[in-house]
Amino acid sequence: EVRLVESGGGLVQPGGSLRLSCAASGFIYRSFWMTWVRQAPGKGLEWVASIKGDGSEKYYGDSVKGRFTISRDNAKNSLYLQMNSLRVEDTAVFYCTRDRMVYATGDRWFDPWGQGSPVTVSS
Amino acid sequence: SYELTQPPSVSVSPGQTASITCSGDKLGDKYVCWYQQRPGQSPVVVLYEDNKRPSGIPERFSGSNSGNTATLTISGTQAMDEADYYCQTWDSGTAVFGGGTKLTVL
């Protein structure tokens, strides 16, 4: 069974930092792109960042570029999100997801999703 | 930046057909997937590549994508289908989500 389990969320003051982790199991982790998606309270889904299986490519959403860093440790089957200079508007549940791809067509989607890790930025 | 537009809410009676639209510029030239998010739960993909169902997703879920609009159709809607639905595509290496549609089964 494919499992993604996030941890590391919590309450942090504006300007502070937090590191989220995602433990993956049940699949060949190094072979998959991985992604973080967030959801602010009562709002929709927002793509945060994605990383290639070998870590050689990383992409970020405009709202987090320069402040957040996605990384992975394939030896530990783990995904990370280092969040610096946090703002009140970063308050959200952060989901870890695995990218699924059809290389022949270029289609790509997220499956499965972890249970989410809540992050609250408040003074 | 690329945008996807969904209606905030759609209502349907049990057993009837629900249609949720997702609009974007030349969306038919891209692939669209759809996620279902029940209250308090994580999203689950219900369609990918416009109209393909992952294993375990009921046949009543179907999709289309042409022109500027993709559509998620739920035939014979059941109470358990009440949820938020999000469309998603990719543009220039960036994942883009629609704003979400709350499906109410009355």
- Which chain B residues are closer than 8 Å to A108 by Cβ? 31, 90
- Contact B18/B12 with Cβ under 8 angstroms? yes
Q: Does A95 touch chain B (CB under 8 A)?
A: yes
Interface of B with A in 58-87 (CB under 8 A): 86
Q: In the predicted model, what is the mean pLDDT of residues B4-17?
A: 98
Q: What is the pLDDT of residue A103?
A: 83
Other Cβ atoms closer than 10 A to A116: 20
Quickly state the pLDDT bin for A105 (edges 50, 70, 90).
Answer: confident
Q: Give the C-alpha separation, A122 to A100, whole Å.
A: 35
Average pLDDT over residues A58-80: 97
Q: Which residues of A touch B88 (CB under 8 A)?
A: 45, 109-110
| Residues facing A45 on adjacent strands | A39
d(CA A34, CA A20): 14
Q: What is the CB-side half-sphere exposure of residue B28 using CA atoms within 13 A?
A: 6
- High-pLDDT (> 90) share of chain B, %: 98
Residue A106: pLDDT above 90? no
pLDDT of residue A3: 98
Is residue A45 exposed (0-12), middle (13-18) or buried (19+ Cβ within 10 Å)? buried
Mean pLDDT score of chain B, rounded to an integer?
97
Radius of gyration of chain B (CA): 13
Task: Please give the structure tokens belonging to residue A46.
Answer: 């927002």
pLDDT higher than threshold 90 for residue B43: yes
Residue A104 — pLDDT band, cuts 50, 70, 90?
confident
Q: Does A42 touch chain B (CB under 8 A)?
A: no
Name every chain A residue with its beta carbon within 8 A of the beta carbon of B1: 62
How far, CA to CA in Å, does B78 sit from each of A89, B46, B103?
36, 15, 11
Q: Sign of dihedral through CA atoms B75, B80, B86, B87?
A: negative
Percent of chain A scoring above 90 in pLDDT: 94
| The pLDDT value given to residue B84 | 98
Which pLDDT band, with edges at 50, 70 and 90, does A102 fall under? Answer: confident
pLDDT tens digits for B64-87?
999 999 999 999 999 999 999 999
Per the structure block, which two tokens stand in for A117?
A: 């890790």
Pick from B42, B93, B98: CB nearest A95? B42
Say which residues have a Cβ less than 8 Å from residue A56's Cβ, sequence separation at least 6.
Answer: none
